[in-house]
Structure 1
Amino acid sequence: PRVRLRPEYPLLPTDQKVDRAVVTETGAGGIGCNKFYETYGKRGQTGGLMAAWCTHCVCLGFHCIPKGEGRNDVFSALFTRWAKPPKVVIYDFACALGPYCMMREPKFFGETRFLIDGFHAKGHTRCTKACFISAYKKNSPELAAVNSSAAECGNGGLLKIRRPLSYMSQRHAITYAYTYLATWNRDRRISQARKEGKLSTL
Structure 2
Amino acid sequence: GCWYLLPQIRQRPLYPHIPHDGKSELNPERSGTCRKYYDEYSKKRLTGRIMACWCSHSICYGFHCMPLAEGRNDVFSAMLTRWPEAPERVVYDYACALGPYCWTREPEFFADMQFVIDGFHSTGHTKCSTASFLKTYADVQPALAKLNSSAAECGNSGLARIQKSVSYMGQERAVLYCWVFLWIWNRLRIRSMFQRSKNAL
**Which TM class, normalised by the smaller chain length?**
over 0.9
The one-letter code matched in structure 2 to 1:19 is: E
Ranges in structure 1 where 5+ consecutive residues have no aligned partner: 23-27
State the shift of 1:45 in Å: 2.2
Query: 6, 16, 26: which is aligned to 2:22?
Result: 16
Deviations 1:30-58 (A, max 9, x none): 51101011101321121100000000000
Percent of paired sites with the same residue: 49
The one-letter code matched in structure 2 to 1:168 is: M
The one-letter code matched in structure 2 to 1:11 is: H
The one-letter code matched in structure 1 to 2:156 is: N
Check if 1:42 corresponds to 2:43.
Answer: yes
Across the two proteins, how many residue pairs are aligned to each other?
A: 195
Query: What corresponds to 1:171 in structure 2?
Result: 172
Deviations 1:158-198 (A, max 9, x none): 00000000000000000000000000000000000111117
> What is the DSSP-based 3-state SS (H/G/I as helix, E as strand, rest coil) of the residue aligned with 1:151?
helix
Query: RMSD of the TM alignment (CA)?
Result: 1.6
Query: What corresponds to 2:4 in structure 1?
Result: none
Tell me: higher relative CO, structure 1 or 2? Use CA pairs within 8 A at least 6 residues apart: 2
Give distance in 1, aligned partners of 2:20 and 2:104: 12
Query: What corresponds to 1:113 in structure 2?
Result: 114
- Show structure 1 runs of 4+ deviating over 2 A: none
Give distance in 1, aligned partners of 2:34 and 2:173: 36
1:199–1:143 CA distance, 2 compared to 1 (3 A): closer
Give distance in 2, aligned partners of 1:29 and 1:19: 5
TM-score (norm 1): 0.92
> What is the DSSP-based 3-state SS (H/G/I as helix, E as strand, rest coil) of the residue aligned with 2:177?
helix
TM-score (norm 2): 0.93
Aligned pairs for 1:37-186 (under 5 A) are 37-186=38-187
The one-letter code matched in structure 2 to 1:100 is: Y
1:199–1:180 CA distance, 2 compared to 1 (3 A): farther
